[in-house]
Chain A
Amino acid sequence: MARATEAVPGAGEEALGEGGSQSPLRMALRRLLKKRIALIAIVYILIFYAAGATAPLLDGSGAIPGYTEQDLEEALAGPSLSHPFGTDRLGRDQLSRVIWAAQTTVIITVVVMVSGGLVLTVSMGLLSGYVGGWVDSLIMRVGDVFISLPGLLMLILINASLGDQVESLARDIENGVAIAPLGISLFTIKIGGLVRSGAPDYFLIAAALTLFSWVGGARVIRSQILALRETEFILAARALGASTPRILFRHLLPNVSNIIIVSLSLSLAGIAGSEIVLSWFGVGVQPPHPSFGALIFDASSVRTVNEHAYLLAFPGLIVAALFFAFNLLGDALTDVFTPRAR
């Protein structure tokens, strides 16, 4: 995000030739802040992300019980002052589990947004649009394959198949892996607590989602780059001897940043939803680490809902509100960044 926001002011001067004092980004931001619904959505998303990101701090400070802390006498208790969201079948505080589940969502959405939404999508779009030729054909054909795959089924298969492998790799790293090319031991990687932290699950889910999230955005960026490539200011930059990276990052990237922001915001609900669905299926984040998918799955049998509806209602409501906020934000950003739609 940082690069996009810094680069956008350049777009006004270079592409649109607007010499005014207001940069397009600032104008867009002002328009966004005028939308009351979008503001409410942003506030909710911020609270959700703040809660998720500070889960370890909240836990450490003792404000909420740990997510594995059991109080078996209080199992399946309804919402009360000490347990606002009630407790689950194992007597664990549901509020704490929801906050830790939010952390899972935060990690996955942020990682996939950066790795898939920004790095992979943008580089593929720029490469195939600007370089063209066989690079373009290759990227687009690979994209054809990815777009044809039934995404949900493939995500489940990949996670189900590779989960154990990734976890054993993480266990190796916990025990120390010597990096020794040609038999000369250079250094040893040893990171403790990897498996317990859920890192292997996060890694696999994020990698799989990244792999399946770039095609649409890359195609849109590519078509925009194809059009921009022939414009005067790019020809001028090339005539002045600008290097390809400079043309790509200083001239082309700022001009597609609005597309990037819009497609990122529209993909957020899908990314968060995919992780929830994977964990619901049992191939995503593994217990005891909470995820909304697992929380929903545990609470969704008709008998449980009948007797302990709060176990499903609270996580379900929070997730639904998050998706709603993502959708509203996406709509607002589309409105703000694509002036024709206004």
Chain B
Amino acid sequence: MEGTFSYLIRRLLWVPPILLVVSFSTFAIARFGPGDPIRIAGGQFRDEEAFERARVAYGLDKPLFEQYVIYVENVLTKGDFGESFRYQGRSVREIIMPAIWRSLQYNSVALVITLSFGIPLGIFAARRQGTWADPASISSFLLIQSIPAIVAVPFLLLFLAVRLPDLNLPDFFLFNPLESFLHSLALPASGWPRDCNVRLPLVGESYECLGVVSKEAIIPIIALSLPGIAVWGRYTRAFTLGVLREDYVRTARSKGISERQVMTQHVLRNALLPLSTIVAFAMVGLLEGSFFIETLTGVPGVGRLTFEAVLGRDYDMIMAVALIGATTIIMANIIIDIMYTFIDPRIRYGSRN
């Protein structure tokens, strides 16, 4: 384990320089582009003098490198990620934190749903290897995965939010129970509850509600969770097949243990352990999906925030999103590599080759 520890230290030492490079390249690329955030925020308003004053106030008149140094200083010494241009007068941190929390709600629920469908799917397919059920089951979910979110979400909205409430079934009886049942299934087109403030009776302070537990969350969560099922199904299938070939499974079977026991006690335990390393990757993938799904369904999460920040040239917001994204990816990778050593003690870091 000592090797792992020094490996961890070495990896962590690399994080600050990587973040510096990432932040500077994002900083430079964002500012190099066309579009002036002050003008965009100004909207109809056109007053060159006021624009110039705003530019000085935000420090945008200084040379690029000086701006960057000031930015890094503020982040490191004060934990200050700057001010949003779009939401004027509000700090980036104040806007981004609730957005991350909302995305996290949706993504965690989506991840749980993906796992609870994907893993059984993979086991099912692996046990039926060689029959038609194996490729058919995986392929059907692969087909769902192949539909891009930007196509799937409009159709989900169309069917579940627009067509379902207006559905007319031919009247077989005077009263049509099926139709009213289907109407009751209709979902709102917006992905976030309209009035999401909870006032605590005793404290008197108002908090934001949990967006996930609302009816509004269903369409975004369907869109977030469906594509991942095939991914998990394929991983689970591959790992399960790998374990099924092991000698100890053959031994277990030859001892006469029931197939159920072989699966639960010998196969799954060994197949599912390595799967845990992919959770970190899955979270990163979900965040990319959030970008489109939140934008299309109107969830005020970090995905939509990013979308708006890029459109509005909200420099400090773009920086914060890029830095948080990069940190998440780096940490996910380190955690995965460290987890491997615990799951498979044969892997040792530290001594190369």
Residues of A at the B interface (CB closer than 8 Å) are 37, 141, 144-145, 147-154, 156-158, 160-164, 226, 269, 273, 276-277, 280-281, 293, 296-297, 299-302, 305-306, 309, 312, 315-316, 319-321, 323-324, 327-328, 331, 341
B94 within 8 A of A: no
List chain A residues, Cβ under 8 A from B146.
269, 320-321, 323-324, 327
* Smallest CB gap from A269: residue in B: B146
8 contacts between A and B (CB under 8 A): A157-B29, A160-B33, A281-B310, A296-B148, A300-B151, A316-B151, A323-B145, A323-B147
B150 within 8 A of A: yes
Does A302 contact B310, Cβ atoms closer than 8 Å? no
* Residues 139-164 of chain B, each 1 if its beta carbon lies under 8 Å from chain A, else 0: 10011011110110111011001110
Contacts A296-B151, A323-B148, A341-B238; is A152 near B32 (CB within 8 Å)?
no
Contacts A161-B30, A306-B162; is A324 near B238 (CB within 8 Å)?
no
7 extra interface residue pairs, beta carbon distance < 8 Å, beyond A305-B157, A316-B151: A147-B329, A149-B325, A153-B321, A161-B33, A277-B150, A302-B158, A328-B139
List chain B residues, Cβ under 8 A from A319.
148, 151
B42 within 8 A of A: no
List chain B residues, Cβ under 8 A from A324.
142-143, 146
List chain A residues, Cβ under 8 A from B19.
148
Does B32 contact A144, Cβ atoms closer than 8 Å? no
List chain A residues, Cβ under 8 A from B135.
37
Interface size, B (range): 35 or more
Q: Which of B25, B26, B147 contacts A316 (CB 8 A)?
A: B147
Bound-state Cα–Cα, A290 to B318, Å: 29
Contacts A161-B34, A297-B150, A302-B189; is A156 near B310 (CB within 8 Å)?
yes
* Smallest CB gap from B30: residue in A: A157
List chain A residues, Cβ under 8 A from B145.
323, 327
Bound-state Cα–Cα, A341 to B241, Å: 9
List chain A residues, Cβ under 8 A from B147.
316, 320, 323
| A-B CB pair tally, cutoff 8 Å | 133
Most chain A C-beta atoms within 10 Å of own C-beta, residue among B14, B35, B147, B318 = B147
Bound-state Cα–Cα, A167 to B29, Å: 17
Does B326 contact A152, Cβ atoms closer than 8 Å? no
B21 within 8 A of A: yes
* Residues 277-316 of chain B, each 1 if its beta carbon lies under 8 Å from chain A, else 0: 0000000000010011000100000000010001000000
Contacts A149-B326, A154-B26; is A164 near B148 (CB within 8 Å)?
no
* Smallest CB gap from B151: residue in A: A316
Q: Which of B155, B238, B329 contacts A312 (CB 8 A)?
A: B155
* Smallest CB gap from A144: residue in B: B18
Contacts A154-B29, A273-B148, A328-B142; is A164 near B34 (CB within 8 Å)?
yes
Does B22 contact A149, Cβ atoms closer than 8 Å? yes
B351 within 8 A of A: no
List chain B residues, Cβ under 8 A from A147.
329, 333
List chain B residues, Cβ under 8 A from A302.
154, 157-158, 161-162, 189
Q: Which of A158, A162, A300, A323 contacts B154 (CB 8 A)?
A: A300
List chain A residues, Cβ under 8 A from B310.
153, 156-157, 160, 281
Most chain A C-beta atoms within 10 Å of own C-beta, residue among B148, B155, B330 = B148
Report the minimal beta-carbon distance from B14 to chain A, rounded to whole angstroms: 7
Does A305 contact B155, Cβ atoms closer than 8 Å? yes
B322 within 8 A of A: yes
Bound-state Cα–Cα, A82 to B322, Å: 48
B353 within 8 A of A: yes
* Smallest CB gap from A280: residue in B: B150
Report the minimal beta-carbon distance from A251 to chain B, rounded to whole angstroms: 20
Contacts A296-B148, A320-B148; is A157 near B33 (CB within 8 Å)?
yes
